[in-house]
A and B are shown apart, each in its own frame.
Chain A
Amino acid sequence: MIAGRRNQLLRGLLGLPTFGYVLAFFLVPLVMIAVYSFARVSLVTFDISFDWNLDNYRQIHDPLYFDTLVRSIVLSVGATAGCLLLGFPLAYFISRQPPIWQKLLLVLVIVPFWTSFVVRTYAMVNLLEGHGPLADLLRGLHVISGPLQVLYTPRAIGIGIIYSYLPLMVLPIYVALERIDDDLLAAAADLGAGPRRVFRRVVLPLAMPGVAVGCVIVGIPAMGEYVIPEILGGGKTLMLGNIITTQFLTVGDIPFGSALAVSLMGVMAVTLLATRRFTRVEAQ
């Protein structure tokens, strides 16, 4: 823009806060946690010694932890699927409305998301309670007879994740679908495609990038969820995030906690790589 080498230097300095910060408080800590995952701790003295062993990773195979790892993945995948199942029809419905209604419906979806995360999760406790309103409703419909037995089970965690992450699924799908012109659907119908085939051959392919982005931004953070299992799992049903926290803050087995965190990063990296093909399209 402006002549002079001094200005070029000045422009470079603008990058310093971002890159300096990310290096010091993001990249270095991540490398450090990876290094510590190969260390060993004495649970008597809490001394950490580095002998570059894989014991921490082997320990993950211990059924106690392995079950949690599997449960985290299953819950995250299940909740992502749930979000997709509920979110796709909603996103599609919104995208087919006149612009003013679209905005109104989006506000309806987003405003609950604006409320405090803890409070929102706590609200689910109220809803799912054994003698709560949902139980009353289901009893009234003769779906169940006794109290509702969902709270403090993995199912409650799944419902909680779906509840908290649903808008994150709806928005990217909506953005993808909103671009589909009504005329395009009419054209497909005109060319002889029935409603089901229009959906399969036109709507779905065009929505794919949005679906991929939605799945990634729901699935990955959900895997490390801490608050939802803590509140809705009642301290019994745990996820990876809770075990990591316990290892760090209660047990003090930092190397093992680190190995768990690194595994979580690994699962995330694999997921990202697997969906890269779809998400890249969206980024453009």
Chain B
Amino acid sequence: MTAPAVSIEGVSKRYGEVVAVQPLDLEIPDASFFSIIGPSGCGKTTTLRMLAGLETPDGGVIRVGGQDVTRTPAYRRPVNTVFQSYALFPHLDVQENVAFGLREERRPREEIDRRVREMMELVRLTGRERARPRQLSGGQQQRVALARALVKHPAVLLLDEPLGALDMKLRKELQTELKDTQRRVGITFVYVTHDQEEAFSMSDQVAVMNEGVLEQVGAPQEVYRRPSTVFVADFVGQANRFAGSVSGPSGEGYQVAVEGAGTVAAQGPLGLSPGAGVSVVVRPENIGLDGATGFPATVTSVSYLGPSRSVRLDAGGLGPILATVAGDGRPVAEGDRVNVFFSAADAWIIP
């Protein structure tokens, strides 16, 4: 395996009394699509800006391609950014915007022209070279911003919520496009977003941050199925949580005593000792309603979503339960008594 594209060791940042980022350790594999997700104010953008050199960390070391760049100013870092508002220069046209960085490198004219032309083809904007940023649609502006950063052949490309200002349909299109572009150029993308679905659809790896703390890093599936904290479980999709205590091992997992539901089997991290208070997390789509086993619950509401139906249940002391069932499955109605169940493989324990 090659050296990580980015490695962050103990990097922290505070603004006065406010801690934006707690000492953070993170390695970003080379040539990967890496996302940092979290709610607004979680420190993801600050982390990105420290990578770009637009903020100075209070402590720690940042390496890009093995080189310490902690004290290197932004304009000397082999890193480029696609900004949230795109930050296209309003007084320059598309061509000049894309050529901006190469001109700062004092490249020869022919090289600049050639590289800009190639980049315009890559982002499919050939023909719009002389347009001003404000004459472009949101999606086109986004592509100019991407071209402007990529044309410099950065070691790492940073993207700060680059699709945030676009409507849903365009977002989906551009997500695919971004992922394709990343594969084609083979550059490490570090992508910041508050939208976990967006991050999951594109990323090789995802880091979840909350209140300046890195909660979990892993492949999207791993983070979704095996959240390491309650925060991650809730932030990444919807989750039913049952409080209980570990009563003992069971096969590859554990037995957990959940009040109001008896003992359930669930997977969990290694080394949990009996008696420990835990939460068992089950995703709504893994909840079954017509089990022979399980615990009884009453349907309180059903909403039809097309391909699926979202069912709210009341299971007494367990609190409300959310289940997602196939849209064309057995119809359930408000007031129905059902048996709620889930398999041990779909239940995950959070200490």
Which A residues fall within an 8 A CB radius of B?
A: 1-4, 7
B345 close to A (CB within 8 Å): no
Interface residues of A, dominant DSSP: loop
- Interface set, chain B 39-87, CB cutoff 8 A to A: 53-56, 71-75
Q: How far is the CA of A1 from the CA of B54 in the complex (A)?
A: 5
**Contacting residues, chain B, for A4 (C-beta < 8 A):** 56, 71, 73
- Interface set, chain B 137-179, CB cutoff 8 A to A: none
Q: How far is the CA of A4 from the CA of B71 in the complex (A)?
A: 7
Which B residues fall within an 8 A CB radius of A?
A: 53-56, 71-75
Between A and B, 17 residue pairs with Cβ closer than 8 Å are A1-B54, A2-B53, A2-B54, A2-B73, A2-B74, A2-B75, A3-B53, A3-B55, A3-B56, A3-B71, A3-B72, A3-B73, A3-B74, A4-B56, A4-B71, A4-B73, A7-B73
**Contacting residues, chain B, for A1 (C-beta < 8 A):** 54
14 additional A-B pairs beyond A3-B71, A3-B72, A3-B73, beta carbons within 8 Å, are A1-B54, A2-B53, A2-B54, A2-B73, A2-B74, A2-B75, A3-B53, A3-B55, A3-B56, A3-B74, A4-B56, A4-B71, A4-B73, A7-B73
Q: Which 10 A-B pairs give the minimum distances between C-beta atoms?
A: A3-B56, A3-B73, A2-B73, A3-B53, A4-B73, A2-B74, A1-B54, A3-B71, A3-B74, A3-B72
**Contacting residues, chain B, for A7 (C-beta < 8 A):** 73
Nearest A residue to B70, CB-CB: A3
**Contacting residues, chain A, for B55 (C-beta < 8 A):** 3
Q: How far is the CA of A7 from the CA of B71 in the complex (A)?
A: 12
**Contacting residues, chain A, for B71 (C-beta < 8 A):** 3-4
Min distance, Cβ B294 to any Cβ of chain A, angstroms? 57
Q: How far is the CA of A2 from the CA of B54 in the complex (A)?
A: 5
Q: How far is the CA of A3 from the CA of B74 in the complex (A)?
A: 7
Most buried by B among A1, A2, A3, A4: A3
**Contacting residues, chain B, for A3 (C-beta < 8 A):** 53, 55-56, 71-74
Q: How far is the CA of A111 from the CA of B123 in the complex (A)?
A: 51
**Contacting residues, chain A, for B56 (C-beta < 8 A):** 3-4
Min distance, Cβ A4 to any Cβ of chain B, angstroms? 5
**Contacting residues, chain A, for B72 (C-beta < 8 A):** 3
**Contacting residues, chain A, for B54 (C-beta < 8 A):** 1-2
Most buried by A among B53, B56, B72: B56
Q: How far is the CA of A119 from the CA of B55 in the complex (A)?
A: 55
Min distance, Cβ B67 to any Cβ of chain A, angstroms? 15
Q: How far is the CA of A243 from the CA of B72 in the complex (A)?
A: 62
Q: How far is the CA of A3 from the CA of B71 in the complex (A)?
A: 7
**Contacting residues, chain A, for B53 (C-beta < 8 A):** 2-3
Q: How far is the CA of A3 from the CA of B53 in the complex (A)?
A: 6
Min distance, Cβ B305 to any Cβ of chain A, angstroms? 41
Nearest A residue to B55, CB-CB: A3
**Contacting residues, chain B, for A2 (C-beta < 8 A):** 53-54, 73-75
Q: How far is the CA of A4 from the CA of B56 in the complex (A)?
A: 8
Min distance, Cβ B72 to any Cβ of chain A, angstroms? 7
Nearest B residue to A7, CB-CB: B73
Q: How far is the CA of A84 from the CA of B84 in the complex (A)?
A: 48
